Amino acid sequence: MSDPITQNSHQQHDERSAEEREARRQEQIRRNHALLKLLDQWDQEDEQQQRETWEIIERMLKEDPFRLREWKP
């Protein structure tokens, strides 16, 4: 049987470990959210770039359909 001092020490260690695990978990959640936000921004930028590229292609097709063959983005 353990003495009360040892039991108290183990309990404090377990509480610290639980707090540390929770702190690490919260930090990982924060990082995950930041990553998702970044990926969303990249996705939106791609949509905008695609629209802009299509507008250029469409304008070129209207002005001179054969010119598109020479165009490289």
pTM: 0.48
pLDDT digits (tens, 9 = 90+) for 35-68: 888 888 877 878 888 888 889 888 888 888 776 6
DSSP structure string for 1-60: ---HHHHHHHHHHHHHHHHHHHHHHHHHHHHHHHHHHHHHHHHHHHHHHHHHHHHHHHHH
Q: What is the pLDDT of residue 44?
A: 80
**Confidence band (pLDDT; 50, 70, 90) for 28?**
very high
Who has greater pLDDT, 26 or 54?
26
Higher-confidence position of 25 and 14: 25
